[in-house]
Structure 1
């Protein structure tokens, strides 16, 4: 039933002219018998029985809501003229007053304040003009009731217009905020990619520097000690393969920072214990578990795992609370490196000036993990607190 009503409303919104025509047809269909009934049961001074002209005016006026969206003031003017004409000829205006109320509402709901104020004024003027031929100017109760109904309908229409304007403003603001958030996310991704590119550039530069040293050593001992020269060439080959793998991973990441990079190796999984000690000194109760036998990690994955733990523990330190605890688990498995950081804190609170609404740190973690084809889960823990869980696939270097 609710689905049927919803689909009906959707069709009416898609075809407003059809709904307006249906409303006008209903009014016209009810107005004709009402005019005859008024002439028969109209009290001590009943109106005359409707003739062809009066029926034409009644039907035309009741069909005027068809124009309530495109020409509402013209339709209201036609209704008011029909009312005055029927009153002047002693005929019943039937349901033209109801059509006038519909048009007053439409003008109030779809036109500006200055224009809409003329609608109730025109409707009430037509009502008073219709009362003159029938000597009903002294019928205070009828005039008061008509005035109350007209003003109420006008206020309802204005309220609908204001609510629509408010909702449109909210939707527009949401769109602007979404565009701003998207621009912020793009800027954060670009900044993080630039940082990743710089770090990986340092790793590749380190490999190239070592390869240069090995090549020079191999050249010097090539004639005197061929075995040592072969070992140096094998090391160069392995370093070259590793550097090429890193360069393939970084394809598509543009570096915008042209500042010279340091030629020192970046931190990795082996530096995580020192990082945990730093967090303990900073006040975060942190425990570390390293499981499995550490295999050979590419420098990029090694660095990404370290940065992930660093970012997650930094967030725990900032947002988890003074009594919170954190657990770091580094699990070396066959073909996979799993890194998990958990805490039991309260998380960032509303109004926290240190909170990052756009989640730049989390954006950076996602970028790092996605760069190496890993899987990432970030969110609340079932028992409370927060969790960052990542799995990196390990590629064999030969």
Structure 2
């Protein structure tokens, strides 16, 4: 193995692609922190008598401005922020922490219920849980959120304390509505992904049918000639060896021409599907640097890293590897919402390993240029390789492919 070589292209032009909407640029943890900060500020503001009011909207408890009250406020803020950070990995724990944050902050107020302000963060957490997680998890989170309101009122009534039951019912109603909105978004996303998968499967099937028709037209005539020449060679092999040799040379020539024609046909079909001129189709991994430079000029810096000893590859592996890199980089530009990505080409002894990573929003699509993730997976499967594409735990997205190499290339 040789030392890794890295080529990075500097960012020279502003991104030409429009930025994603604000709701996608801010993470769920960010929205949780924003809503908690805004609701806390609003709650503190309502403890003062504002212009036009005869008294404050709500009275603070005695400990609000004491050290114990400020300690409760700090603890509840820490719980709310931690809930945002755990949303993707531990949704039920995040919901629990958000509920506790609202309860702790409410203890510093002279109120007889869990106010809407203190429950807004729980509602936001519940929305993201319903959007990103399975229905069973989302229903459990909803039960926890609504059940906490019921328990809070029940405890106050059991102790003989006043309880704002009507107002708490309104909070519960809004909580259910927020959950329904998140669940509707989740269902729409699942439906869109199912449609995308069906369209990708139909596209792959249509491509195979086109290839089958073209292969039939190309191969039928050549195979007929090869059969005739082989039969003639077998009949005259003893009496006229020169004629038999000429027939076998014709068989060899026709076979080579057929293979070359099939290769050109497959490349042309793929180029036509991707809307490009077949004569201008990139040859393979040699064009990765040019792709990186073009993408960098468009606003997304591409770092190309080569491991091992680069060597000549069979045309099908070389072309498929380039297409995987090209499609992955295109997905980063269109969907990741980041300004940089990394491409690693690892020339191992018995395989070629590809890895494309970014630090963006961690989204992939099966409906991007070409056939997207479905097309990349199909290419790798046809070469008997391994393919993965998934968000990274630390954030961003990773695409990996391992393409086995023929013995002659090793």
Same topology, TM > 0.5:
no
Larger relative contact order, structure 1 or 2 (CA cutoff 8 Å, min sep 6): 2
TM-score by length of 2: 0.44
